[in-house]
Structure 1
Amino acid sequence: MKTYVAVPVAEQEKSYDYNPAWEPGPCVCFGVCCCCAALRPRYKRLVDNIFPEDPKDGLVKADMEKLTFYAVSAPEKLDRIGAYLAERLSRDVVRHRYGYVFIAMEALDQLLMACHSQSIKPFVESFLHMVAKLLESGEPKLQVLGTNSFVKFANIEEDTPSYHRRYDFFVSRFSAMCHSCHNDPEIRNEIRIAGIRGIQGVVRKTVNDELQATIWEPQHMDKIVPSLLFNMQKIEDVDSRIGPPSSPTGGDKEENPAVLAENCFRELLGRATYGNMNNAVRPVFALQSQLTNQVVDHSCTAQYSHHVIQEILGHLDSCKRASPRVRAGIIQVLLEAVAIAAKGSIGKFD
């Protein structure tokens, strides 16, 4: 039996037993890597191909078309595609590779629009997970990016109801964004607008889903309504200093948090039903502000205006120990509410 002893390479070359063929060349490792890459699932290879070497080049459109065609042809792979994209996005967020994060969200938006007619429930879970990651980040541009994607998703009508999907986190996060106190006024304005648009998206996504009636529960309305009123208050502050406001243009409506919040609040009250109106109006009276007049004007235009009057009467009873000025303000609001409701009454009073 032969015994082998470790010999330095320099001495091996002098040994008659040394055979250079015994040492593997670099091509062996390269071949193994190529083999492993070929064994990767197809959906992962298609996802990897949409990311360029330099994120400044943007999404690789040709490969994105291949991925979209694959997802449409094999919808059962959508959940795996979404999970893998979520894995890549989470890694890029941690590493601050924001260029790739924007590319991943662009790909997600395109997949949602292309595959929304099919069963996308598993894919949506990955999508919402990624949006939540962006909203949790401290980067304003990522928060705005996540909000824009969520709004696009909210406008998609799904064929099948979502039994277990909840939007509690998004209500809390968007409401917090409405109260942004960023040092830069422009960024603060941008974050607040994103928060309002996010709330509007949650309302639109859930209000027509009978399984998502929880959006009207007090714990959600107590976050949504004050957040909208906080931004609407800016209209009142400005009006008290400079007089009647000029009618905002289309561009101003998109850039002004106050106007956007007012439109969102009108839409919220307009979608409220008989059993939901009280929860939507009740948080208003906790503010003890003249803004209540404007809110009553919005809510009393709906067909359930008598709910508002009942809430005002209840609020007046609860303020028995309040100052005369506060009670007088509540009574003034009650008079305006009655006058508005009377305009829609049928019949004639003698």
Structure 2
Amino acid sequence: MSLERIISFLIGDCCGALSPLYKRLVDNIFPANQKNGLVKANMEKLTFYALSVPEELDSIGAYLSKRMSKDVARQRYRYVCIAMEALDQLLMACRSQSINLFVESFLKMVREVLESDKPSLQILGTNLFVKFANIQEDNPSYHRCYHFFVSRFSDMCHSRDEDPDIGFKICMAGIKVRMMVNDDLQANIWDPELMDKIVPSLLFNLQSGECTQNHSSSLLQMSEKEKRLGGVDRVLL
């Protein structure tokens, strides 16, 4: 019995010919009521399929991204969070040699939530980007959208929301972005165009003192811990 038939049997699908298997698996992780959260049992099936047929990762990511874009447009933000949770789980499950098939869709989804005017989505996107940046890849692909992310995190560092607490959280989300990077990407960090965005953002927050007063010691401790672990730490913003 083929893997597709096995998965179709597991998800109880009677209408297998109506749409590709990967689409049905993605659709099934979303509950009828968005308040119920990710359907974990179906997420496990999607993950199993993605690991078993890694060449489908590109299609899975593209379809998940398409669904999330519609939910962002319709302001169904709980569904957006479900999509990002699924994205996170797929990212963590992917093997390094197959992750490049998933990169384009992943960065597109993270970019979309970072461009949202919802602070919670911006912070969610930041956290996912940090996870992605710390994955060791055989052929790193971050550079494809690197300039956008530097610009966006720089903007977040300058956040002054009407609500001081929200503004502070966005500011810290931009500052905390840090990468464990290889030599090729380290060279990109020092690109003059990127440094023109990174340095002013750092100086802005050093001068204001608001962010650094309460968090500078914890950031330094985190940096030292990462260095002891053997990684090359770079505070981008």
Structure 2's unaligned 5+ residue stretches are: 1-12, 227-231
* 1:142–1:161 CA distance, 2 compared to 1 (3 A): closer
Are 1:65 and 2:52 matched, yes or no? no
Which residue is equivalent to 2:201?
A: 227
Contact 2:223 2:233 in 1 (8 A): no
Inter-partner Cα distance in structure 1 for 2:233 and 2:83: 34
Structure 1's unaligned 5+ residue stretches are: 1-33, 240-244, 246-251, 273-279, 281-350
Inter-partner Cα distance in structure 1 for 2:20 and 2:66: 15
Which residue is equivalent to 2:92?
A: 113
Where in structure 2 are the equivalents of 1:267-286 lying within 5 Å? none
Higher-Rg member (1/2): 1
* 1:163–1:107 CA distance, 2 compared to 1 (3 A): closer
Where in structure 2 are the equivalents of 1:191-340 lying within 5 Å? 191-198=170-177, 200=178, 204=179, 207-210=181-184, 213-235=187-209, 253=215, 258-259=216-217
What number of residue pairs does the alignment pair up? 218
Q: Which has the higher contact order (CA 8 A, sep 6+)?
A: 2
Q: How far is 1:197 from its partner?
A: 2.0
The CA deviation string for residues 200-254 of structure 1, in whole angstroms up to 9 with x for no partner, is: 2xxx15x42415622211111121122122222233x899xxxxx8xxxxxx54x
- TM-score normalised by the chain length of structure 1: 0.56
Q: How far is 1:37 from its partner?
A: 6.6
Inter-partner Cα distance in structure 2 for 1:61 and 1:213: 40
Alpha-carbon RMSD across the aligned residues, in angstroms, is 3.0
Percent identity over paired residues: 64
- TM-score normalised by the chain length of structure 2: 0.81
The CA deviation string for residues 264-283 of structure 1, in whole angstroms up to 9 with x for no partner, is: 9999xx868xxxxxxx9xxx
Q: How far is 1:35 from its partner?
A: 8.5
Which residue is equivalent to 2:71?
A: 92
Q: How far is 1:145 from its partner?
A: 1.0
- Other structure's SS at 1:108 match: helix
Inter-partner Cα distance in structure 1 for 2:116 and 2:200: 24
* 1:211–1:187 CA distance, 2 compared to 1 (3 A): closer
Which residue is equivalent to 1:175?
A: 154
